[in-house]
């Protein structure tokens, strides 16, 4: 009887492993890994764009500050500007679309308004500065930043003061 059982067992074909299921599982795992790499690549790309935009905004603020310093220097030198003028910038900034333009406008005898316009990497921004002549000195009395949450700022004690005397022009503060 054992013999019959063994002969019968030999006739039965051995059971095969489900190869189709294994292939489908491997393909699905590979697709999941590729999808993860794509998502990680998109996250890095987004972070790079965000970092570049932040750097451009910071450079824009530095250009506006430089324009403010140029306006103060012009007042200290006692120069009267005719129309808008462009501040020379380094070649590295010019290659990325950097531009800085100052416009002076007199409002009465003792108030001068400067508009500082900056362009960098496709971004545009401007700042308006108001200087008032008080006791022979030019004082920065107002800064207006269009589009800012703060809008306009007035200064009392902490502001740049320049001498209005052309022969002895200097930055006092």
Tally of CB atoms within 10 A around 87: 17
The yes-or-no verdict on residue 84 having pLDDT over 90 is no
Q: Which helix (H) or strand (E) holds 160?
A: none
- Computed over every residue of the chain, the mean pLDDT equals 78
60: containing domain: 50-163
Distance CA 65, CA 46 (A): 29
Question: In CATH, what number is assigned to the domain containing residue 135?
Answer: 3.30.1300
Q: Average of pLDDT values for 91-115? A: 87
Bridge pairing between strands 137-144 and 123-134: antiparallel
pLDDT at residue 13, as a whole number: 62
* Residue 18 Cα distances to 12, 14, 15, 21, 28, angstroms: 18, 13, 9, 6, 16
Residue 14 lies in a domain: no
pLDDT at residue 151, as a whole number: 53
pLDDT at residue 5, as a whole number: 54
Nearest CA among 77, 71, 58 for reference residue 143: 71
When pLDDT is cut at 50, 70 and 90, the band that residue 85 belongs to is confident
Residue 89 lies in a domain: yes
Higher pLDDT, 7 or 117: 117
If you search the block for the tokens 């679309």, which residue do you land on? 97
* Residue 173 Cα distances to 70, 82, 124, 125, angstroms: 15, 27, 30, 27
Q: Structure pTM? A: 0.64
Residue 118 lies in a domain: yes
Residue 20 lies in a domain: no
Residue 18 lies in a domain: no
- Dump pLDDT digits (tens) for 114-143: 889 999 988 888 888 888 888 877 888 888
Yes or no: say if 131 and 112 are a contact pair by the CB < 8 Å rule. Answer: yes
Q: Average of pLDDT values for 47-53? A: 91
pLDDT at residue 117, as a whole number: 92
pLDDT at residue 37, as a whole number: 96
Counting the structural domains of the chain, the total is 1
Residue 7 lies in a domain: no
When mean pLDDT is compared across 2-11, 70-79, 96-105, the lowest value belongs to: 2-11
Distance CA 18, CA 22 (A): 7
- Structure tokens given for 154: 């007035």
Distance CA 160, CA 143 (A): 12
Residue 86 lies in a domain: yes
Residue 98 lies in a domain: yes
The yes-or-no verdict on residue 16 having pLDDT over 80 is no
pLDDT at residue 11, as a whole number: 58
If you search the block for the tokens 């530095």, which residue do you land on? 62
- Dump pLDDT digits (tens) for 151-164: 555 454 444 445 44
């Amino acid at each position: 009887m054992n013999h019959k059982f063994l002969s019968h067992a030999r006739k039965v074909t051995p059971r095969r492993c489900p190869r189709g299921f294994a292939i489908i599982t491997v393909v699905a795992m590979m697709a999941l890994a590729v999808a993860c790499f794509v998502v990680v690549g998109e996250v890095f790309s987004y972070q790079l764009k965000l970092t570049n935009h932040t750097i451009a905004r910071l450079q824009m603020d530095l250009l506006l500050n430089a324009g403010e310093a140029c306006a103060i220097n012009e007042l200290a030198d006692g120069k009267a500007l005719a129309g808008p003028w462009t501040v020379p910038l380094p070649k590295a900034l010019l290659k990325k679309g950097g531009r800085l333009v100052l416009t002076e406008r007199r409002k009465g005898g003792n108030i001068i308004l400067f508009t500082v316009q900056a362009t960098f990497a496709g971004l545009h921004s401007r700042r308006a500065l108001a200087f008032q002549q008080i006791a022979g000195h030019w004082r920065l009395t107002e800064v207006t930043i269009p589009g800012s949450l703060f809008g306009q700022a007035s200064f009392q004690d902490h502001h740049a003061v320049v001498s209005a005397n052309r022969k002895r022009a200097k930055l006092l503060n």
